[in-house]
Amino acid sequence: MKISRMQELLSAQLLVGEDSLEREVHSACGCDLMSDVLAYVKDQAVLLTGLINPQVIRTAVMMDMICIVFVRSKKPTEEMLELARESGIALFSTDKRLYEACGLLYANGLGGKTE
């Protein structure tokens, strides 16, 4: 799925990373606990979360993710936007809740696993 399609499905606002809209992503995960992202995520390109702090961006960097969607209309801080720009990670914000946002993407073909 193209990131632009994901943005459309979630009616999400692009915050950082306009140049990533044409990139393809093949899997995603939804999680508020960064420890679990670090423990269980493998090759998922997109993180959906309601958590706001700079460690969300660093966790995505560690996991080689390319896109983060903040749910429940959460807005990242200026420090997080800057960190994302430096790291080449696209940021979006959607008013959907985590469950609904994940469900929409899943139902439209974006799975949770890469294989």
Partner 1 sequence: MNDTLVFHFEVDGEDFTSAGQASVQIKKNLRQLGMSPEVIRRVSIAMYEGEINMVIHAGGGHATVTIEEGYIEIKLEDKGPGIKDIEMAMMEGYSTAPDNVRSLGFGAGMGLPNMKRYTDFMTIESEVGAGTTVTMRVNYA
- What string marks each residue from 31 to 60 as x (binds partner 1 by CB under 8 A) or -? -xxxxx-xx-----------x-xxxx-xx-
Interacting positions 6-35 with partner 1 (CB under 8 A): 32-35
Interacting positions 60-79 with partner 1 (CB under 8 A): 61-64, 79
Nearest CA-CA partner of 102 in 65, 56, 52, 49? 49
For residue 65, what are the contacts with CB-CB under 8 A and spacing of at least 6?
A: 41, 44, 45, 46, 47, 89
- Do residues 50 and 27 lie in contact, with contact meaning Cβ atoms separated by under 8 Å? no
CB of 66 to partner 1, least distance (A): 13
CB of 109 to partner 1, least distance (A): 26
Task: Give the residues lining the site for partner 1 (CB under 8 A).
Answer: 32-36, 38-39, 51, 53-56, 58-59, 61-64, 79, 87
